[in-house]
């Protein structure tokens, strides 16, 4: 990400240690830890459109990810950082934060596949409404993810379908740029310099999540 300094940012992730990484590296960024509950997960059979990872179970974690309460928090943050208050960025993890999908890889970018990985038509519509509000408010949308398939056309096509054709977005592939440490990934980007304390400590972590 290039351009002028970012004046305010918010970051959402379903994995607590990723939230802590960003808090430690960039304490001026607002963070929201979203639900990571596996309760009531709905199992899926592998199919032509959803491929299972070796040793994993395809499932939709219906109680994970962004929900109504999270959307209200995002809306409140957006109102507190209105147009004219500088450059603002919303950073989102992908798996089990935007989506509710775990254990595999989508093989196409159809509306049906997007509905499945996002937990159904209703939740997908709610997500689109949330992103629409961010765009209308002039907030930049960025995926900060350890997903290793962000380079694949299918992944990018799913993101475009979710956000809307022609709407700008950026991807920070933290697994590639910082060995999965999301705080370090942000500190490497000059536009975040004002939000990331120069002397802050970043805890070493070999764990990664999507």
Predicted pLDDT of residue 200: 53
> What would the pLDDT profile of 154-192 be if each residue is shown by its tens digit?
999 999 999 998 999 999 999 999 999 999 999 999 999
Residue in this structure with the two tokens 């499932």, named with its chain if needed: 59
In angstroms, the CA 36 to CA 38 distance is 7
Residue 155: Cβ-neighbour burial (10 angstroms; 0-12, 13-18, 19+): buried
Site of tokens 């765009």: 135
Helix axes 68-80, 121-136, angle to 10 degrees: 0
- Average pLDDT (119-129) is 98
Q: Per-residue confidence at 147, pLDDT binned at 50, 70, 90?
A: very high
**Residues 103 and 43: beta-carbon distance below 8 Å:** no
Q: CA 47 to CA 176: how far, in whole Å? A: 29
- For residue 9, the model assigns a pLDDT of 98
* pLDDT of residue 206 exceeding 50: no
Structure confidence at residue 3 (pLDDT) = 87
* Per-residue confidence (pLDDT) for residue 118, from 0 to 100: 97
Give the pairing type, strands 64-65 and 104-106.
unpaired
Q: What is the DSSP string of 90-134?
A: EEE--TTTT--EESEEE----HHHHHHHTTSHHHHHHHHHHHHHH
Residue 88: beta bridge partners?
8
pLDDT for res 1: 76
In this predicted structure, what is the pLDDT of residue 197?
77
Question: Domains, the chain, ranges and CATH?
Answer: 8-192 (3.40.50)
Classify residue 160 by burial, with Cβ atoms within 10 Å: 0-12, 13-18, 19+: middle
In this prediction, residue 198 has a pLDDT band, given cuts at 50, 70 and 90, of low
Query: What angle, rounded to 10 degrees, do the helices at 153-163 and 121-136 form?
Result: 80
State residue 202's pLDDT score. Answer: 44
Model confidence at 55, pLDDT cuts 50, 70, 90, reads confident
């Amino acid at each position: 990400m290039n351009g002028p300094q970012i004046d305010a940012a918010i970051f959402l992730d379903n994995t607590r240690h990723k939230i802590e990484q960003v808090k430690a590296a960039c304490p001026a960024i607002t963070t929201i830890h979203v639900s990571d509950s596996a309760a009531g997960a709905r199992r899926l059979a592998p199919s032509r459109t959803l491929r299972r990872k070796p040793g994993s179970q395809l499932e939709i974690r219906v109680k994970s990810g962004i929900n109504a309460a999270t959307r209200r928090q995002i809306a409140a943050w957006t109102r507190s950082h209105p147009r004219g208050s500088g450059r603002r960025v919303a950073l989102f993890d992908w798996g089990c934060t935007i989506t509710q999908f775990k254990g595999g890889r989508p093989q196409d970018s159809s509306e049906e596949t997007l509905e499945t990985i996002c937990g159904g038509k209703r939740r997908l519509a709610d997500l689109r409404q949330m992103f629409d509000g961010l765009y209308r408010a002039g907030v930049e949308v960025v995926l900060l993810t350890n997903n290793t398939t962000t380079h694949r056309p299918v992944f990018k096509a799913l993101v475009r379908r979710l956000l809307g054709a022609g709407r700008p977005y950026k991807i920070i592939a933290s697994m590639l740029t910082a060995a999965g440490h999301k705080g370090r990934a942000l500190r490497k980007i000059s536009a975040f310099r004002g939000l990331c304390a120069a002397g802050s400590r970043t805890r070493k972590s070999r764990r990664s999540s999507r």
